């Protein structure tokens, strides 16, 4: 993307009017008030003059060349204006107007026509259905926002114009500036990834913040985020079904699986936030460029209860209380009252004035085992609230260790909070949210130099059964026959039990007799969920028992499927020490791993398996492609991994072989992107084996 799209030398506004509260007129006033130095042309056939400026009846009536046209008129009148822009050979168009794909089929058709026209003409398009953009570096405010907080080092991209205005209003109150604010709306052309690439190269920008409801190309986004040298803070709503419905009605986009989105953002080492306030607080904190080097926190408080709450939340968020050095403890004993608690949390007592806080904070700054400092203040009668805030500001200016202030209360602590905010020191009145933010900042900081970018090309591809799958695939989801699934698993070195698929009873008995004990079950093609239909029998040890269970199984299958002589799957019985689950879901179409494929790729879900998988909900996620180290990290976050590692003296299970299976499943999915989902439940683990026992593979274009 050319940078001059947001630095036009001339702008025409279509829709300006004598009504100063109309969107077109607000766009004009914002341009003028923020100091735009280029030429401005107004287009409205109803007027010869608007606010003292000449008004043209249409774009073609303007004799001069035009870099950019901004359109703010009803959607049904937009396409003829776009046609004029193409004839005029403008460089870019901003469509503020709503009424496109977000309102239904007719709006989608209109948007697609406009999109195709401008693409063919080589014209870039921002919007439609957007607020516009701000480029404070070049003093351009082409939005209808109420205010602009001015220049800064943050670039903000938002799919919601209203969200932009909320953030801008918050920023004005706390003197936070932006280099760029870009409202991308429906993203008919310009989208988030292009902007990230541009902002990554801009030396004036230190941080990128994003509000995004739908990712145009998730795979590309993750790759850009992994390579970014700048912090990327993201709020991505859509975890609930109601949220997904609202997104669809808002932008006309289909919401991605929220688990996929969050896993993708974590893979890209983005700082993921959950609310407007958290986004704003995180942007402000990141702006100061003071990051913790590890997870160890020293807590300083003037009340015992809040210290306990902080300690609880630090453990809950996976952080640690610092183990203060002997020298640090000595300093605390020298400088704090005898009754104060000198461990961690450090209780400076309710009568602490600013100097006592200063002494404790200084000690923690010098402590080598402390990565960040949480200062909690409660308003006692003699508490020096403003004085303590002043000490924190001075200390934060002279250290790279981040200090997080938590001033509990409201009216009494307000002056201290205002002062800390004025000097860009993080402060809140909520311990839980503060510790949560520390965790997110810490995760980013610890991982920012550890990102190992894995490309699809790094994964070994083997797809000798591709023709067979392509012959079966349609636009509807269908399950692969077990024999093809078996071939795919063997091709990718994924261990399965010794097994036979047959409808011949005699053949089944002969095979079983050599493998006792055995399991018999319906094939996945006939019955995907076997337990629900009494379509599986375990631990069969004799021919007589086998014949009886085989008869019952065939009756169950026939009752459901009406197949008179169904196939039966016979497998060796493996006694499990742990049952493990592996699922996969493709986000995107079957072209996902090709250069122009859009989407995220396959998301793996791994964790506790068996018939109670959905009850335990012990699941972690891996977005492909991933290296073995990242797969291991996700595995180790599951509770079942503790059992696999040998819990309470029990023997360790075949963890490396389980990792082999997960890695090889990755190769299988990337080799066969036609697989839309997969369910392996269970993978049976013993001390020396990991075996994929029940596998269902679904395909779709």
Residue with tokens 């679904």: 698
Residue 11 maps to a domain: yes
User: Which pLDDT belongs to residue 415?
Assistant: 97
Same-domain status, 276 and 342? no
- Give the DSSP letter string of 256-270: PPHHHHHHHHHHTT-
Could you read off the pLDDT of 273-323 as tens digits, one per residue?
999 999 999 999 999 999 999 999 999 999 999 999 999 999 999 999 999
118 and 91 Cβ atoms separated by less than 8 Å: no
Stretch 186-192: mean pLDDT, rounded?
A: 97
Average the pLDDT over each of 234-243, 345-354, 487-496, 631-640 and give the range with the smallest value: 234-243
Same-domain status, 251 and 345? no
3-state secondary structure of 157: strand
Which CATH number do you get for residue 537? Answer: 3.30.1490.20
Same-domain status, 90 and 130? yes
Which CATH number do you get for residue 393? Answer: 3.40.50.261
Residue 266 Cα distances to 143, 271, 375, 567, 639, angstroms: 32, 8, 28, 44, 20
5 and 92 Cβ atoms separated by less than 8 Å: yes
Q: What percent of the chain has pLDDT over 90?
A: 85
Q: Are strands 154-158 and 207-211 parallel, antiparallel or unpaired?
A: parallel
Same-domain status, 506 and 610? no
User: Which pLDDT belongs to residue 51?
Assistant: 87
Residue 629 maps to a domain: yes
- Rounded Cα–Cα distance for residues 623 and 613 (Å): 20
Is the pLDDT confidence value at 34 over 70? yes
Residue 566 Cα distances to 324, 522, 527, 695, 697, angstroms: 69, 8, 11, 18, 20
- Give the DSSP letter string of 388-408: HHHHHHHHHHT-SS-EEEEE-
Which CATH number do you get for residue 618? Answer: 3.30.470.20
Is the pLDDT confidence value at 397 over 50? yes
User: Which pLDDT belongs to residue 254?
Assistant: 47
Is the pLDDT confidence value at 571 over 80? yes
Same-domain status, 100 and 166? yes
Average the pLDDT over each of 86-95, 445-454, 629-638, 644-653 and give the range with the smallest value: 445-454
Same-domain status, 194 and 279? yes
Same-domain status, 71 and 219? yes
Same-domain status, 144 and 267? yes
Same-domain status, 239 and 141? yes
- Rounded Cα–Cα distance for residues 409 and 274 (Å): 23
Select from 572, 602, 631 the last residue of a domain.
572
Residue 456 maps to a domain: no
Select from 286, 305, 334 the last residue of a domain.
286
Is the pLDDT confidence value at 671 over 50? yes
Select from 235, 256, 286 the last residue of a domain.
286
Could you read off the pLDDT of 417-471 as tens digits, one per residue?
999 999 999 999 999 999 999 999 999 999 987 777 888 999 999 999 999 999 9
47 and 56 Cβ atoms separated by less than 8 Å: no
Same-domain status, 340 and 203? no
Same-domain status, 280 and 305? no
Residue 74 Cα distances to 253, 402, 661, angstroms: 21, 50, 56
Same-domain status, 164 and 259? yes
Angle at CA 494, nearest 5°, toward 491 and 496?
Answer: 110
- Rounded Cα–Cα distance for residues 370 and 482 (Å): 56
Stretch 667-678: mean pLDDT, rounded?
A: 96
Q: Which domain holds residue 603?
A: 578-699
Q: How many domains does the chain have?
A: 4
User: Which pLDDT belongs to residue 258?
Assistant: 85
Task: Give the predicted TM-score (pTM) of the model.
Answer: 0.90
Q: What's the pLDDT band for 510 if we cut at 50, 70, 90? A: very high
């Amino acid at each position: 993307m050319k940078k001059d799209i947001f630095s036009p030398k001339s702008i025409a506004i279509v829709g300006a009017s004598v009504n100063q509260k109309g969107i077109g007129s607000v766009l004009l006033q914002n341009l003028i008030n923020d100091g735009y130095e280029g030429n401005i042309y107004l287009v409205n056939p109803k007027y010869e003059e608007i606010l003292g400026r000449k008004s043209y009846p249409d774009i073609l009536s303007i004799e001069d060349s035009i870099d950019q046209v901004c359109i703010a008129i009803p959607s049904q009148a937009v396409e003829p204006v776009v046609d004029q822009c193409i004839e005029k050979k403008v460089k870019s168009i901003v469509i503020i107007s709503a009424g496109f794909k977000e309102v239904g089929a007719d709006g989608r058709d209109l948007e697609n026509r406009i999109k195709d026209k401008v693409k063919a003409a080589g014209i870039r398009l921002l919007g439609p259905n957007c607020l516009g953009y701000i480029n404070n570096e070049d003093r351009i405010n082409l939005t209808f926002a109420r205010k602009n907080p001015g220049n800064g080092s943050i670039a903000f991209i938002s799919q919601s114009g209203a969200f932009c205005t909320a953030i801008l209003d918050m920023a004005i109150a706390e003197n936070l500036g932006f280099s760029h604010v870009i409202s991308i709306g429906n993203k008919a052309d310009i989208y988030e990834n292009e902007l990230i690439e541009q902002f990554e190269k801009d030396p004036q920008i230190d941080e990128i913040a994003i509000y995004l409801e739908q990712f145009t190309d998730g795979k590309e986004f993750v790759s850009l985020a992994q390579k970014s040298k700048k912090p990327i803070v993201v709020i991505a709503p859509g975890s609930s079904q109601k949220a997904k419905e609202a997104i669809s009605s808002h932008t006309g986009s289909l919401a991605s699986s929220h688990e996929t989105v969050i896993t993708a953002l974590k893979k890209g080492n983005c700082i993921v936030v959950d609310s407007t306030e958290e986004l704003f607080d995180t942007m402000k904190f990141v702006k100061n460029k003071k990051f913790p080097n590890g997870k160890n926190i020293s807590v300083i408080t003037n009340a015992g209860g809040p210290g306990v709450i902080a300690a609880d939340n630090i453990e809950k968020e996976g952080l640690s209380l610092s183990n203060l050095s002997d020298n640090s403890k000595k300093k605390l004993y020298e400088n704090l009252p005898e009754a104060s608690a000198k461990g961690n949390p450090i209780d400076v007592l309710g009568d602490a004035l600013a100097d006592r806080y200063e002494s404790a904070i200084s000690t923690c700054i010098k402590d080598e085992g402390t990565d960040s400092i949480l200062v909690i203040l409660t308003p006692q009668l003699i508490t020096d609230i403003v004085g303590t805030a002043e000490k924190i500001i001075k200390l934060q200016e002279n250290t790279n260790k981040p200090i997080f202030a938590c001033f509990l209360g409201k009216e009494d602590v307000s002056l201290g909070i205002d002062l800390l905010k004025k000097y860009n020191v993080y402060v809140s009145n909520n311990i839980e949210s503060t510790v949560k933010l520390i965790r997110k900042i810490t995760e980013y900081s610890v991982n920012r130099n550890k990102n190992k970018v894995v490309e699809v090309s790094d994964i070994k591809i083997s797809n000798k059964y591709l023709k067979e799958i392509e012959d079966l695939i349609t636009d509807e989801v269908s399950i692969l026959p077990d024999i093809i699934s078996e071939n795919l698993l063997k091709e990718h070195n994924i261990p399965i039990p010794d097994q036979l698929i047959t409808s011949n009873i005699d053949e089944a008995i002969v095979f079983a007799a050599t493998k006792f004990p055995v399991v018999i079950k319906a094939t996945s093609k006939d019955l995907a969920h076997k337990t629900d239909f009494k379509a599986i029998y375990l631990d069969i040890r004799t021919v007589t028992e086998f014949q009886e269970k085989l008869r019952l199984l065939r009756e169950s299958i026939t009752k459901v499927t009406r197949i008179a002589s169904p196939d039966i799957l016979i497998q060796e019985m493996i006694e499990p020490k742990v049952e493990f689950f592996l699922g996969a879901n493709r986000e995107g179409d079957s072209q996902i791993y090709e250069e122009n494929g859009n989407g995220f790729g396959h998301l793996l879900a791994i964790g506790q398996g068996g018939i109670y998988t959905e009850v335990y909900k012990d699941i972690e996620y891996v977005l492909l492609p991933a290296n073995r180290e990242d797969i291991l990290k996700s595995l180790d976050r599951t509770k079942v991994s503790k059992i696999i590692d040998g819990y309470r003296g029990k023997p360790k299970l075949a963890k490396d072989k389980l990792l082999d299976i997960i890695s090889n499943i990755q190769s299988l999915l990337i080799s066969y992107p036609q697989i839309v989902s997969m369910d392996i439940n269970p993978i049976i683990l013993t001390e020396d084996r990991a075996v994929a026992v029940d596998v269902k593979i679904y395909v779709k274009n």
